[in-house]
Structures are given as structure tokens and as C-alpha cells.
Structure 1
Amino acid sequence: MTVDLSVMYCGIKHDSPFILAPSPTTDHVDRLIQAFEAGWAGAVLKTVAVDSRIVSRVFPMVTSLKREKAFIGLQNIDLVSEHSVDIVEQNVKVLKKKFPHKVVVPSIMAFTKEDWQSLTQRFVKAGADIIECSIWHPHGTEWTLCTKVDEPVGTEQIAGWVKEVAGDVPIVIKLSASDSDIIATAAAVERSGANGVSAINTIKSITGVNLETLIPYPNIAGVSTYGGLSGPALKPIALRCTAEIAQKVNLDIASSGGITTWQDCAEFLLLGASTLQLCTAVLRFGIGIIEELKQGLEGWMMEKGFQNLTDVIGKSLPYLVEHSRLPRGIQVVSQINEEACNACGACYTACHSGGHGAISFFEGLPQVDVNTCIGCGLCHSMCFMKAISLIRPNGKPSSGF
């Protein structure tokens, strides 16, 4: 069986769902050429504003969030493109001439109706396939040169301005999980006539504080500021936003936020995404990660019998219901696989700290009192050895665990 990874997003065919998100990677034409040659279906160029050249950048711009050997996220205080509109416009022309079948998406930001429309018209003329509007910015608001919007009304207005002059070029609005009501804003985008949304932007954050100097990270000559968090930490939030938008609004969705592996990609597609934008994973593993993503997704689709992405997109949405519709009265209990258990005690600690004290130690290994266990799942969630499963009291496995 062959698998077709091509997908339609906002009426534009992509040879796969894998897109480079706006980032330092997409701010240089030579890197974009390398990425397209490596197999990426398209790229959203780093956001540009009318007066990008006046933006004063500071260094260092990034700091990471880690726990032991686990990479959790990346906070950046970078701003818009270091290039003028003229240069970004020329980059679009170069890329479209060299790669007519790749999807090139300028990301624009403006302060006035005139600037939103001027930028749109320039990039439409340059040959852009799609235009993405970056209305939200998690940091550096005094430098971002962006309209201060009152969502969702302001978002609908801006989307309408851009759509008014875009002609046949699709318009996508980038949304933020920091929005007071992302669904209301997505609905406003739909009313505006725009074609899709990108969800989600980085989230305003502080990764930590240096306990020696007392200065939050990153330290910029003795002071710091808020940044935008990206990477694995965002994945659960981005999945939620993707699913909610897909369930409640009829718009194409480009998902971003914490996408690192092909498994992540499959999850976002199953919850309604049509395309997938990656940034932090590319910075960590390089442009060549595209091969692993493609091969992994293709292999999984073949295993599941999916021939194309139409069979995949939104497949898991029917399983998401309101809490009141969840089945009641189904009892499960924990079962410990002694051969897989390393006797770390994490399950015991969790059960006695927040559960019902159903786990005890016998001859050096944890044991479950099935008459006390209520099946809350705390021990299962805390076990890094995957030695605990949740089963029905009759011994049958519980679906999903």
C-alpha cells in the first residue's frame, strides 16, 4: 500500500503537511533553499513589519527550560525579521522562481489599516501562496509595531482589511492561547472571510530566576524581560486549541507548538490540523528532521490502513465529548507488572500522597490492594517504567491504558 502525504490547506496543495514555522531558520533565503531541497513542503517566513529596520535587538535572545536531561522548552525574546520588507519581498520572488511547487508564506505585522493592506498587496504581487497575519506577540510590544487589538472584534477587523486586498491569495490569522477566548476569536476570523488560522503562537513566559544573581533569565546586562515559550511544554495546550477550533469553527488549521516527533504530528492531524508548523524541533535537530517525520508518519499510516491525510485529519475528534457525557460507573484498578517494575517507589508515593493508600511494599516490590484501589490513575501516570496498567476488576484491560 502506498501513502499520500499531500494535503490541501486553504485551497493550496502542499506535498506534505510539514511546514517551517516563522523563526530564525526562515529569515534567510539560503536556509530556506536548503530546507526545500531537503523536503519541507513550505515555510512561513519570519514576521516582517513596515519598519522592521528600526527594531533594536538584544542579546542573548534565547534561554532553555530543562529538567535533568529533559528538554522542556525554549524562551525567546527575539522580535520581527531583521530584514526590510524589500528584502523579504525579494526572498519570496527568489523562492517561488526556484521552487514553484513549494508553499511560501510571508508573515506580516502592522499598526494601521494602510500598512496591513500595503504589506498584503506587496506580497501578493511578489507571488506569495498564502499570507499569515501575526496579530499577537507575547513580548516586546513596544517594538512589534503591531495593532493593539481588542479581541475578537479587532481581529475580525484586521482580517477583513487584509482579505479585502488579497484577491485570490488565502489569508491566515495566527492565534494565541493567551487570548481570553480563542474560540470566539477563531469565529471572528471565520466571519471576516479569512481562510484559516495558525494555532498557537508562543506563550508569554519566564523560564526561571538565577538564584545567585536574582536576575530572571535571560540576563541582558543585569536585567531581563518576558519572552515567548516554545517547544514540548506547549504541546498539550496547542493540542487543546487545535481540537477546540476544529470542533467549533469551519476553518483550516495550521498547528504549531511543541511538535517534535512524527507521533506528535499524527496527534495534531487526528485532532483537526491540516498542516504542521515546526520551529524549536528544527533548531534542536536540524532541517534534516524532515526525513524522520515523513518516514514515521508514512509508516504509521500504512500500519493503520490510512491511504491519505484526508483519512487522518480530525479522526479523533468524535471521541472528545463534554465531561457530562463521559461514561459513569466503569471501575478499573491498578495492576503492576513485577518484571517491568524497578521498585522506585513513585507509585507508592503518589498513592499515599493523593490516592487512597492502596499500594504497599511486599518483599521489596509494590503491591495493589484491589479492594482499596479506585482506579484514579495516579500511580499509572507517575510510573516511568510503564510497569502499571489499569484493568477491570475482572482482569480485562481498560481501553486506552
Structure 2
Amino acid sequence: MAGDKQSGGLAARAAALALLEAVLEQGAMLGQVLADPAGPLTGLSPSDRARAQRLALAVLRHIEPADRVLKPHLRKEPPEAVRIALRLAVVELAVEHAAAHGVVNAAVSLMRLGKRTTHMAGLVNAVLRKVAEVPEPFAGLPPQRLPFWLRKPLVDTYGREQVAAMEAVQALAPPIDISVKPGAEVAIPGAEALPTGSLRLPPQVQVSNLPGFAEGQWWVQDAAAALAVGLLAPRPGERVLDLCAAPGGKTLQLAAAGAQVLALDISAPRLVRLRDNLARCGLAAEVVAADALVWQPAAAFDAILLDAPCSATGTIRRHPDLPFVKDGSDLPQVLALQAALIDRALGWLKPGGRLVFCTCSLLPDEGEAQLAGALARHPGLVVERPDLPGVEPAWITETGGLRLRPDYWAERGGMDGFFMARLRLPA
């Protein structure tokens, strides 16, 4: 970021601070705050909205190294609002490589805007001027570590080196992947064709301005998430249920493959986006808002895709607020819900029908263990090996599931963490 437009820059920074305070002090998920029509981004220009969101995400990815940089310059703990402002400025210097004078002046101005922080303007000025003297403040510092409740089971499962590699990927702003409608010709300069069939866009693009978006030729979907529909392998005319469907990327894939799709989700507001994307892409699906634990279908399905509610720990590269809001305490209830959804879904299949169960989680309890439990509860159920284009043999588990991790494709920007498995009923 060269230079600094003080008025617009200050508005974006103030909004970023409000977003960070909502996450770190109030325990709100960033997505909820961003969706609030009366939230901190209200009234900002599109460019300032984008900048505020980018800054908040960057800080959440680098709080630990920012605190390490600040520690030698603070004799006592400042108020939380001041600490957050200092973190923002440090991240701007270390990650955004912003001009030091603009960052320092903006941080001081932000302090003077608040009645509770005006008296801290001098401290902020002094601390940040010292930090700005270091060319690369984060040089030699390890990436931000996952919280203990999550890191310990991951280290036990994958090993310390692998978890450190995941953390290194999660410290980076992730690229955007898209799924292309079959038959569409999409030419986006700088896009990379991934081995699994998704396209990875160049960094810092405005998605809605890219060729083919308005025409509905593609939609945003992480490459890992897109593999679930490939594993289900829907055929034209098949009756397919997308269970827990919102926000709808998999529904679009299923409909584009020619399946007769019923998209079910408990959240009516989240289904609004799904309907919008169906309309934009010229695709059709029956959309139902209902609780899958009480809903009953009118007829059995050829195939079901269950992207079950989970801890979402595989998506931290895109949702760095998650480790600061969640603590794993709801995991027992989530695990019980996943098992119940698997059992109900299997009961809705035709003989010989197939179910793909997946979760965007890195925890084996939400993946490998759920697969083992389903096999124990349902004699005759068969796991079908996930031999898909671009899937490396090392990603396939001993029991035939597909385990994806953020550190896979690290040189390309990684992928979301997922577990998925295809199950088939006896004919």
C-alpha cells in the first residue's frame, strides 16, 4: 500500500478496529458482524469496506507475532482497545508493508477519536515509531499457533511438523478458487488450473468484475470442497439430496451435472444466497428450509451429499476468527448431530444408493471416527475408494476416506481441511 489517503484510510482502519473488537472482546464470528446491516462497515465506500475486512483478517492471522513485537516496548498491559489498535498498526507495517508515517499517524488519530483512548495517543506514537525502525518486524518469528484445545489433538494425529506446516499456510491470505459450469469457457488472466479441476484466481481480484461472473459461468468454491461432488459422481436425471446445503456451492455443482436436486438446510436466511446463485448461473434445484432431524422426503434418493455441521477447523485459513471465538466445548453435541444425520440420510436412500459424508474439519472425531461409527451401525455398508483426478494417494486413508489438509498444495496457497467418504448401501 503506497502512501495513505488519510480520510478514507482512517475510516477503513476505524472499521477494522470495530470488527476486531467484535471478535476479540465480544466473541462474535466475523461473518455475523459483516452480515449485520447496522454493523461497522455501514456507510463505507466499497473500497473502504474491502480494506477494513482485509485488515481485520490480516490482524487475526498475526496476533501472536504482533504481540511478540510489541512486548519489549510495553511496560504494562494497555487497555484492550489500545492493544488492538497497536496490533493493527504492526500488521500494517509487517504484512501490508504500508508507509510508516501513514500507519503511525493513523494509529495516533484513532486514539484521539475515542474518549477512553485519547490519553494513550503519546504511548501509541512512541511504541510504533520504535517498531517502524525495524525493516521486517516479523522476521524470524514463527507463524501464529493454533489454540491448545485444537493444536493438541492435531499434533497427536498428524505430528508437530505437519501442524506447523498447516499454521504456516493459515498465516497467509488464501487464494480464491472457483468451480466452472460444465461447457463454459472461462478466460481469467493469471488463473491457475488446479489438478482437481478447479480454477485458482490471482490474488486480490474483485470477483464480481471478472469475466463470466455476471453470466453465471462459475461460482466461488474452495477446491477441497468441490471434491465432494466429484466423489458423489452424480449422473443426469438422478434424484439427489444436498443435505445441509447452504451456502450452496455443492448444490450448483449437482444441478450443473444434470441431477434433480433437492437442497435442504435449516437456515432460511442462508438459503437466500443459494437461490441467488442458482438464478445467476441459470440452474434449477428445489430449495427447502427445514430441520433434517424431523423432515421426511416424499421419495427415496439415488444419492445424498451430507456436508454436516462441524467445528469448521479446516477453514481457519479463510476464517482466522474461529480460534478466538470457539473453544471446542460444543464438540460432543456436534458429534452426536453428525451421527444422527448420517443415520437419517442412509434411511432416505434407495437400495444400492450412495452417500457422501463430509466435514470441513481437521479433527478425526468429525471424520475418520464418524466413518468407523457408521460402518459399525450399518452392516453391509461399503466404503468406495476416492480415486479422483488430482487426488494424491497419500490423501486417502486406510479405510478409504479422503483426508485433506491446509498444508496440501502449500506452494499454491493450500486448501481447506476436509474429510469425506463415499458410502454405498447394499443393492
Taking structure 1 as the reference length, the TM-score comes to: 0.29
Compare the two structures and name the one with the higher helix fraction.
2
Compare the two structures and name the one with the higher strand fraction: 1
Taking structure 2 as the reference length, the TM-score comes to 0.28
